[in-house]
Structure 1
Amino acid sequence: MNDSSSLNNSQENPDLFWDISSITNKTKAIRFFQSVSSSFCVYSPTVEKIYSNFEVILPKDHNSNLIVLPNPFAFHDTFNRVNEEAIKSTGILLFPGEVFQKKGLIICLTQAKTKKIQHIELDSASIFLNRLYLRRFNTPFLPILLNGDLKEFKANSPYLHLHRFDPTAVTELSQFDIRSISNTITERFQTMIKKKTHKHTYI
């Protein structure tokens, strides 16, 4: 797929056009995002769609942007009519472990009572977050990405802010469709946990 067709798609849907001009170390950020993006779905509020099959395209001027380009032939991998209220911010961050002198990926979250920041290895964090969200919201933790979630920590390391899909807030879909979305998000996120490659260096 060439750059021109990619740009045409991004212009039709601006949510696919990720501006990284404010990130200092763009090479690290792009490499990190490329290494983990296949384990997530991406939501576009403009068109109310969740994409589970996409490429990360770098235009010629990728010093300022990247494009999340859905596969136009994978209709079954795109979920339509997902209202924006069903996508919620979490405050949960995903870092490459190197930031904390560790291997793999690290989840960072703030404790509700003490406001202390916890750093948890991905494997343990996945189990913990599922239990936490089931207890609090009666739904598993279903991480999803939006344009703007790729950020930078102290101009040194990239990280991702994780949004979540909330099945209880969906207004226009059947229970079958909601289960399909939830299962797809879970399956993709589990691939990150199962990958032996997640122990390697990301940045």
Structure 2
Amino acid sequence: MSDSSLLNRSQDNPDLFWDISSITNKTKAIHFFQSVSSSFCVYSPTVKKIYSNFEVILPKDYHSSLIVLPNPFAFHDTFNRVNEEAIKSTGILLFPGEVFQKKGLIICITQTKTKKVQHIELDSASVFLNRLYQRRFNTPFLPILLNGDLKEFKAKSPYLHLHRFDPTAVTGLSQFEIRSITATISERFQSMLNN
């Protein structure tokens, strides 16, 4: 796809163009994002869609952005009419393990009462978060990404802020559609745990 056609798409849906100009080590951030992005769905508030089939593009003329480009032929992998209220911030962060001298991926969770930050390996964190969200919200932990979630820690390491899909806050979709979105997000996140 040419850069001019990418520009046209950015005007239709600016959420697909992720600004990384404030990130110091762009190469490291892009590599990290590319390595984990297939385990997430991406939400676009502009068009109220969740994309589960996309590729990460680095346009030649843009040194400060990456593009999340949905597969235009995968209609069944795009969920429409998802209200913004169903996507919620979590404050949960995903880091490459090397930041903490560990392998794999690390989830950072700030405890509500003590404000202490816990660093938990992804496998353990997944079980913990599912229990926590089932107890608190009666829903599994369903992580999802939005434009702006790729950030940098102390100009050294990239990390992702995780939003979540809240099936109980969805309006205007059938239970079948909600279950389908829930299953897709869960399956993609599970694929990260199995790697």
TM-score, scaled to structure 1: 0.94
Answering whether residue 42 of structure 2 is matched by residue 42 of structure 1, we say yes
* Distance (Å, rounded) in 2 between the aligned partners of 1:3 and 1:182: 34
Within-5 A mapping of 1:47-58: 47-58=47-58
Q: What's the CA shift string for 1:100-150, capped at 9, x where partnerless?
A: 000000000101121100000000000000000000000000000000000
Runs of at least 5 residues in structure 1 that lack an aligned partner in the other structure:
196-203
Report the counterpart of residue 127 of structure 1 in structure 2: 127
CA distance in 2, matches of 1:157, 1:48: 30
Equivalent residues of 1:9, 1:69 under 8 A apart:
no
Say whether the 8 Å CA contact 1:6–1:57 is kept in structure 2: no
Q: Is the 8 A contact 1:10 1:69 kept in 2?
A: no
Structure 1 consecutive aligned stretches of length 4 or more whose deviation exceeds 4 Å? none
Matched, 1:22 2:19: no
Does structure 1 residue 161 correspond to structure 2 residue 161? Answer: yes
How many correspondences in the alignment?
A: 195
Q: State the one-letter code of the partner of 1:88.
A: K
Superposition RMSD on alpha carbons, in Å? 0.8
- In structure 1, what is the Cα distance between the partners aligned to 2:121 and 2:67? 29
Output the CA distance in 2 between the equivalents of 1:15 and 1:191.
Answer: 25
- Structure 1 distance, partners of 2:61, 2:94, is 26
Alignment TM-score, normalising by the size of structure 2: 0.98
Per-residue displacement from partner, 1:145-181 (whole Å, max 9, x unpaired)?
Answer: 0000000000000000000000000011000000000
Identity of aligned residues (%): 88
